[in-house]
Amino acid sequence: MRKQLFILAASLSVTVAALAQNNQKMKPEETEVYTPVPPIVTPGNTPQDAPSDAVILFDGKNLDQWRMTNDTTQAANWDVSDGILTVKKKGSGNIETKQRFMDYQLHIEWRIPANITGSGQARGNSGVFLASTGKGDGGYEMQVLDCYGNTTYTNGQTAAIYKQSVPLANACKKPGEWQTYDIVWTAPRFNADGTVKSPARVTAFHNGVLVQNNYELAGQTLYIGHPSYTAHGASPIKLQAHGDSSEPISFRNIWIRPL
Ligand code: MG
């Protein structure tokens, strides 16, 4: 046995030595590649400005890129004025992009009204669904809420992946101030039989602070019950008209870079 171990150890060290010797024979150029060539992208003047290759989802003028979620033949009917999009809570519903996306980088700005009232989940509740999988709240929600001094279940607070992932920080600004989400989304992949090939992943910054670090989702975000996946492909991005009675929140400067 000892002899066998000795032979094994000896042959391993020979292999390691051979590899090292082989590396010594290599030229630096042998591990240098020239394709693919990354495209040149001119950054915006500030980190918030859309870079040159972004798809503009809302530039303050209109909702041409959006439609109603529950009746996708209808134009999005939330309020647009002074360059700002405000959730319409009554007689409306969620809105979603006409375009569908897989993997992307998303920038979105939102503002809780300065006169916000309510507490817990009923204080400026909205949400960014990173992929909408159907009517209502189907999909994967990153929570939008006022948690500046407001407490709730932490996996439902601002920047949580709703009821799945507590944010790494509470980076909330005061109501009345504009806030940013910068989100990197990797869509889930499914096998032909509908089983999960690779789950969704998300990395996100709230006001520039890392709040989700390559978090792997267990499935769609549900209000009740444990998350699970149902197979889907490229999906719209959806904004939530939450049914609570607090003042509606606003959005601006929404852009996306499909990856
Ligand atoms: Mg919400």
Domain that holds residue 171: 37-258
pLDDT recorded at residue 16: 53
User: Could you read off the pLDDT tens digit of each residue along the chain, which spans 259 residues?
Assistant: 455 554 555 554 555 556 566 787 899 888 888 888 777 667 777 668 999 999 999 999 999 999 999 999 999 999 999 999 999 988 899 999 999 999 999 999 999 999 999 999 999 999 999 999 999 999 999 999 999 999 999 999 999 999 999 999 999 999 999 999 999 999 999 999 999 999 999 999 999 999 999 999 999 999 999 999 999 999 999 999 998 888 999 999 999 999 9
Determine the distance separating the centroid of ligand 1 and the alpha carbon of 18, expressed in angstroms: 58
Same domain for 83 and 27, yes or no, is no
Listed residue (207, 206, 233, 213) closest to 165, CA to CA: 213
Listed residue (223, 220, 221, 219) closest to 243, CA to CA: 223
Determine the distance separating the centroid of ligand 1 and the alpha carbon of 100, expressed in angstroms: 21
How many structural domains are present in the chain?
2
Same domain for 215 and 243, yes or no, is yes
CATH label of the domain that carries residue 184: 2.60.120.560
Same domain for 28 and 141, yes or no, is no
pTM assigned to the model: 0.87
Determine the distance separating the centroid of ligand 1 and the alpha carbon of 61, expressed in angstroms: 25
Same domain for 28 and 154, yes or no, is no
Determine the distance separating the centroid of ligand 1 and the alpha carbon of 11, expressed in angstroms: 60
Residue 170's beta-bridge partner residues?
none
pLDDT recorded at residue 4: 56
